Chain A
Amino acid sequence: MSSTLKSLLVSLFIIAGLTACGPDALYDLSGDTYQLRDSDSTLVNFPGDFKGDISLVTFIYTNCPDVCPVITANMTNIQRKLDDTTGVNFIEITFDPERDTPSVLKEYRNLYGLNEQFTMLTSHPRDSDTLLNKLDIVAEKTIIDSLGYDSTNYAMRHSNTLYLMDREGYIRAEYPAHRVKPEHVKDDINYLRSE
């Protein structure tokens, strides 16, 4: 066997090995199913219903009047930055399902003029925790006594995370949601499109 042929076989072996490992993923949701509800109360299987598309996934709560709207604004900025938004979903999942019912999420999407490419998702609190834990999303209630906060009126300490999920349900990139440059995300979306 010539040295050239040996080199070729070794290269093929390495490529085959990498392919078998799948893409580099921060989190693998490809085999998971989380039952969530959108702002029309329609049942959504996450991430299965979004497979085949590239998705940006972030987390908010609607009683957050400062940072969460910044995150939403950044999502719309990314949407505007894309030359072609075909095959891209913009998903916002609440980490406050107790208060963010589908109708509350609908109000939020109407207030911020989010179009049909945006999906706002909520769930039963128990199911929400399972998904948040899987994705290492922190969401803790903070009750500030001086403001008269209580078990139904609270703020939250929360992650500031935007994930980029590929067509198979692998989380391939993460960003600081409220300040990532849209150009940066656009480049990564284009990279996934080229795969």
Chain B
Amino acid sequence: MKPIKHLLPIFLSCCFLFLGCGSESNSSDESGSTKEVVLGKITLDNAWARPGSQQGKSAAYLRISNGTASTDTLLSFSSEAAEKIELHESIEHDDGTISMQPAGQQVIPSGEKLRLQPGGLHLMLINLKRDIAVGDSLKLSLKFARVGTITATTPVQIQN
């Protein structure tokens, strides 16, 4: 236990220094220079996209985990492989029919996950710039209100 006791003051000092950097948002000091701020991480995993033909459509899925201390909001999306990306949601109605509609901005509370998965929320890739076939990959960029843009390399595969 002795070594831990020695390290504790150093650890607390570090925490104090970080807290002294101010709020969690990116900010500038009085001289105008930008200081690096550690916000925690939003991580993207389990990303994959369906195959599609040039000028056609595809869908992409992933899991977004908000590991920051605050709520964040998913604002927009882009990819080098598609002219446009929209967040859509498939809905099963009481009569058994299914339709798709645009989904609004998604707010992800601290510590929560947002799952984009088949039959639910998904990123719809519109007007593909190239054929994307099984085995290819594409880059998906997701822009969040607080942490900014995060990019994920997304394999193209067929759902099993």
Q: Which residues of A contact B (CB under 8 A)?
A: 62-67, 69-70, 73, 77, 107, 111-113, 138, 142, 144, 146-147, 155-161, 176, 178-179
| In the complex, chain A residues whose CB is within 8 Å of the CB of B98 | 67, 157-160, 178
- Contact call B88/A66, Cβ cutoff below 8 A: yes
Which of A69, A156, A159, A160 sits near B50, CB closer than 8 Å? A69
User: Given A155-B99, A157-B99, does the pair A65, B58 have CB atoms closer than 8 Å?
Assistant: yes
- Contact call A73/B159, Cβ cutoff below 8 A: yes
User: Given A73-B159, A73-B160, does the pair A65, B119 have CB atoms closer than 8 Å?
Assistant: no
- Contact call B160/A113, Cβ cutoff below 8 A: no
- Contact call A112/B158, Cβ cutoff below 8 A: yes
- Contact call B90/A144, Cβ cutoff below 8 A: no
A-B contact pairs, 30 of them (CB 8 A): A62-B56, A65-B50, A65-B52, A65-B125, A66-B59, A66-B88, A66-B90, A66-B100, A66-B118, A66-B119, A66-B124, A67-B98, A67-B100, A69-B50, A73-B158, A73-B159, A73-B160, A77-B160, A111-B51, A111-B53, A113-B134, A113-B158, A138-B97, A155-B100, A156-B99, A157-B99, A158-B99, A159-B98, A161-B96, A178-B119
CA distance A73 to B157 in the complex (A): 12
| In the complex, chain B residues whose CB is within 8 Å of the CB of A178 | 98, 119
User: Given A138-B97, A147-B102, A178-B119, does the pair A111, B90 have CB atoms closer than 8 Å?
Assistant: no
B92 located at the interface, meaning its Cβ lies under 8 Å from any Cβ of chain A in the complex: yes
State which size class the interface on B falls in.
20 to 34
User: Given A66-B124, A73-B160, does the pair A176, B96 have CB atoms closer than 8 Å?
Assistant: yes
- Contact call A160/B97, Cβ cutoff below 8 A: yes
A158 CB, min distance to chain B CBs, angstroms = 6
User: Given A65-B52, A111-B133, does the pair A70, B97 have CB atoms closer than 8 Å?
Assistant: no
A43 CB, min distance to chain B CBs, angstroms = 25
B33 located at the interface, meaning its Cβ lies under 8 Å from any Cβ of chain A in the complex: no
| In the complex, chain A residues whose CB is within 8 Å of the CB of B160 | 73, 77
B91 CB, min distance to chain A CBs, angstroms = 9
| In the complex, chain A residues whose CB is within 8 Å of the CB of B99 | 142, 155-158
User: Given A69-B159, A160-B92, does the pair A111, B52 have CB atoms closer than 8 Å?
Assistant: yes
